Amino acid sequence: MQYVSTRGYTAAQNFSEILLGGLAPDGGLYLPEVYPQVSHDELNAWRGLSYADLAFEVLKKFITDIPEDDIKALVTKTYTAEVYKNARAGENASEITPLRILEDQSGRKLILQALSNGPTLAFKDMAMQLLGNLFEYTLSKQHEELNILGATSGDTGSAAEYAMRGKKGVRVFMLSPHKKMSAFQTAQMFSLLDDNIFNIAVEGVFDDCQDMVKAVSNDLTYKAKQKIGTVNSINWARVIAQVIYYFRGYLRATTQNTEKVSFTVPSGNFGNICAGHIARMMGLPIAKLVVATNENDVLDEFFRTGIYRVRKSAETWHTSSPSMDISKASNFERFIYDLLDRDAVRVAALFRKVETEGGFDLSGQTGSDGDEFKKIAAFGFQSGKSTHSDRLNTIRQVEQNYGITIDTHTADGIKVALEHIEQNVPMIVLETALAAKFNETIQEALGRDAERPAGFENIEALPQRVKVMTSNVDDMKAFIAQHTGL
C-alpha cells in the first residue's frame, strides 16, 4: 500500500513514511493510491470479532510495511475495556463502541454509537490512543524523537495529550482558541503538568490555530529541524483508526450484508465523516452519510449548493457545540480529491483559491469552477444544520424519550439525523462526547448538572498551566524551538 498527495506530489510513500509528518511536501493530504476493498465474505467473517481483532483486519489493509504481528500487538494494547472504561450504565465496556437503540418503531430505527468511553470522554480517543502507540513504536524503531504540533477546538487536544503523556521521545505543543472551550475541556487540557506537554492558548478562533499549524507544516526547513509531526485529523493514521468504528457500527446494527445503514456525524473539520466516506469507498454498505453542522455551516452550505465559502475569523461563531466552531475543514480536501476523480492539478488550484479568494464553486452555474455538485449524491452525502435552541430542545427530548443525557454536539447529530432518517434503513448517530464536558449547556437545558464518571468530579479545581500567545507564527515557532533545544 502506497500513499499519494491530493495535490500531486509524485513520490509515493508507505505508511510509516507518512505517519509522523501530516501534510505532504506540496501542502496536500495523503490518501492511498487505491482504496482497499472489503468483500462480503470478509464482512461475514468480521461479524463475530472483538473490536481489537476487527481493528487488526481493517488496519492491515492500509499498513503493509509494519509486520502483522506488531500491528496485532498494537491494537490489542490499545482497544481494551480498561482504556475505554467510562461506559454508561448498561453498556458493555468490552464492546469499546457499544450501540444503543434509541428508537425502533414504524420502520424507523435510530441508533447511538458510543464513541466517548475513552480517557478524555470524547470520540477523539478512538484514534488518538492508537496514534500514541503507533508513534512510540515507530520512533523506537527509528531511534528518533518527535515534536507534535496540533490545534484543537476542544477535544483533540486533551485526547492527544492523554495519549502522548509519558511517551518516550515525544513532546506535544497544542494550540487552542483562548477562552473558547468549555470549562471542563479547558481544565482537562491545562491541568496536565507533564514535562512533555505544552499548552498554548491563541488569541483568536480555532481556524487561526489551524492556520498556524499549517504554516509550520509548510515551512519544510523548520519542520525538519524541529522534527515536527501532527496529530490533527490531517494525520492519515487518525483517519484510518476512525474507519474501524464505521465497520463496527454496521456489523453490530445488521445481520446480513444485503442490509444498508446510514450514519449522521456531527462535523466541523470533516475528519470523522471523511472516515465514513473511506469506509463506503471500501465497500461498506452505507446508504447515506449525513453531515451535521452547528451555526458554522460551511459544510452544510456546500452539500446543499456546491459552493464552499470559508468564513473569516470574525464570522466564525462561538457556539455551545464549540468543537465544531470551524470554518475551514482540513479533511474536506480528501473528499474533493475523490469528487474530482483524483485530478490533483484541479484540487491544488481549488485549494489555492481557498487561500486567496476564500472558497470555490462547483455548482455548475455560470462562472463556477466546475459542475461536480451533481455527483455528490452518488457518494451518499447529505447535510443539515442545528442551532443553540435546537440543541437545547434535542437534549431535553432525548432525556425525556430515551432516558439518556447527550452532549451538545451529539444533539446536533440527532437533530439532523431525525430529518434524514429513512424507513427500514437504520440511522446510526456517532456520539461526540459525554455530556459532562459541556455542563454549562446541560444546566441550561435540564436545570441540573451532567453526571460525571469517577475521577472527573473536581477537574476544574486542579492547577493549570498554559501559555497565552497571539496568532503570530514566528513567535510560536520561537516558543517551540526554545522548549525543544533543537
Q: Confirm if 427 and 292 have CB atoms less than 8 A apart.
A: no
For the record, the C-alpha cell of 156 comes out as 483533540
Percentage of the chain lying above the pLDDT 90 cut:
84
Pairwise CA distance, residues 60 & 66, whole Å: 9
At 151-204, the pLDDT tens digits run: 988 788 899 999 998 888 899 999 999 999 989 999 999 999 999 999 999 999
Pairwise CA distance, residues 463 & 53, whole Å: 39
124 is catalytic: yes
At 363-374, the pLDDT tens digits run: 999 999 999 999
Pairwise CA distance, residues 166 & 185, whole Å: 20
Dihedral sign for Cα 450, 451, 454, 457, please. positive
pLDDT band of 142, cuts 50, 70, 90: confident
Q: Confirm if 30 and 9 have CB atoms less than 8 A apart.
A: no
pLDDT band of 486, cuts 50, 70, 90: low
Beta bridge partners of 390: none
Domains, the chain, ordered by start: 95-120+239-446 (3.40.50.1100)
Q: What is the pLDDT of residue 353?
A: 97
pLDDT at 419 over 70: yes
Q: What is the pLDDT of residue 233?
A: 80
Of 60, 72, 124, 214, which one is the catalytic site residue?
Answer: 124
For the record, the C-alpha cell of 313 comes out as 475569523
Mean of pLDDT values over 238-256: 97
Q: How many CB atoms lie within 10 A of CB 226?
A: 20
Q: What is the pLDDT of residue 457?
A: 87
pLDDT at 104 over 80: yes
